[in-house]
Structure 1
Amino acid sequence: MSTQSIFHKALQNAKKYINDEFYTSLETIQAELEKYKDVFKDKIIYCNCDNAYKSNFFSYFIQNFNKLKIKKLIATSLSDSALCGLFESYSFKIEIVKVKGDIDYNNKALMVESLLKCKENTKEIIKSDHDYRAGDFRSKECVQLLKQSDIIISNPPFSLFREYFDLLIKFKKDFLIIGNMNAFSNKNIIPHFIKNEVFISSLKNDKFLQPNGKEVSLNFCVWFCNIKINRVFKDLKTTTLYYKNPSFYPFYSNFKNCINVNSVNDIPLDYEGLMGVPVSFIKYYNPNQFELLGIINENFSKDFNIKKNNKNNNNPAILLNGEEKVLYRRIIIKNKRPLKCDY
């Protein structure tokens, strides 16, 4: 590959990270990780998209390192340089195995420097490889660190979430990560939800900080997790019933066996058949109450005999005033214990 080609590839790769950096608040991290406090004992935790000098994930684990009895904490982050290949970039790997002494948790830079005074803790340079910038979670060095770790916890780049998820699945890692709620409907991701191997949890706070210090609200963000704990599921309770207003739930014109539901609040608890519900349902999904079967799109069209609509795709469609209206994708669910009503 020519120098010019490598340069071009590096720049294209760098563009994927534009607007991808959103720093998670310590409040958000604490609220969720409290549920998993019993799983970190004697584990190697890897925050593979986290600059130790900036990351609240890193700060949380340092502040609770001894309490949680963590074996080792590793943090790596993307190099500031956009180049790789012949144009070598470098970043740092920080490994913490001991936390002791007076540490200023309010100043991340001083906190890291205090930790590094302990000879057991290390800070080492990691370099770019032929394909990826230094510190990129896909780079050879970072993948090696991932393979030796037990649990991966981070807020990965949104634009690379599918690649990130696939990597964790490939190496069979436990994880707790933040991503766009809509990512779950990706053909590589949704099968793990159908098998109840991965679950979603809502963020307690949707406020994130960008590198320029600007606070933004991202209400589509959720936690993706496959860590095994005793989860508490709540039943979804709505007040609508199918038998009282069946015309409110038309069957899809390209999927005859499934009714359309416009919002989570409209899910009829007495309906026994297939329902197409909004993607936001995944935040309320209780596997004890509902069965998750798939999604109305190209990937599941053959399994459910979903026909193409008038726009020549497999998204759900209903007849409205005699014309076919194409809707946004819908999750296919079935109530495991529908309400029995006296008709």
Structure 2
Amino acid sequence: MTSLPYFDADAVRAALPYDRAMRAIREGLLHGVDPELDGPRLFSPAPGGEFLLMPAQGAEYSGLKALTVAPGNPARGLEKIQGLYVLYSSDTLAPVAVMEGASLTAIRTPAVALTAVRALAEAAPSGAELPAEPRVLVFGAGVQAASHIEAALAAFPGARFDVVGRRPERVAALRETVAPIEFRDRTSDPEDAVREADVILCVTSASAPLFDGSLVRDHAIVAAVGTHGRELRELDDALVSRADIVVEGRDSARRENGNLATAIDDAGWESAPPANLHDLVSGRVVRTPGRPAVYTGVGMSWEDLICASVVFAEGRLAREN
């Protein structure tokens, strides 16, 4: 085997700015990607955490993201998620590139979430459109909070930001990370922040709902993407029951999404399952007047493959030039 190109975190970020990642996700969904055909994520125990393997296949490239999830790492000043992405030729199944995996995840997660938020905004009923300068509330102050703030600004250039975090030092660190983007620290008054928000982004590792869903404004859009597993959740049933719901993929949501675990029973999944991202970007989602919209996801393998393919293509183009 010849030497494989390796894209470190800086190279991944350089090749995959948020607007490019969002465009790639949308184009992929419009040109053949079916979230319902995505393979399940594979979990296995690891010391102090777990291994997470995410395989995906495509016409030109296939890939495997191999991560470790260490819940105790943030308290030690270390990253919770670490790993690598291996991109393969679908023709020969030979590996063609290796990439740093955490940076890929930090870009694709907000790229998918903001693709959904922007499409839900485009589908708003008359009189419920987002303002030109939407108030965006972020729950969380870690890596994904920073990524979602930056992606939200790419999606909505006039956005103004509020943040609710658990620890003051994390909020202070977030302020330095996203500078010169400014935000208000609303940790002391989260209920008022929820009442004022046009967009709410939930990017925490919470095990219980972050706020009272009855406080969310009727025109607001909520994206909850911080947790995976039916025992973990960021949203309450009050919000889920009053909102228009969109998921990444119906099978993955039914299997892994704790935000929906108690609000939608088996009969509901069979008779009236929520729309998925393909439905949304294809224009098949009709929002209900007087109801907020919720997008909730757990992370899927097809998203990483789309983003990794862009990194490889952009990197190869840069080397040729």
Fold shared by both chains (TM-score > 0.5): no
Which category describes the TM-score, using the shorter chain as reference length? 0.3 to 0.5
Query: Rg larger in 1 or in 2?
Result: 1
Bigger proportion of residues as helix: 2
Q: TM-score normalized by structure 1?
A: 0.32
Q: Select the structure with the greater relative contact order (CA < 8 A; seq sep ≥ 6).
A: 2
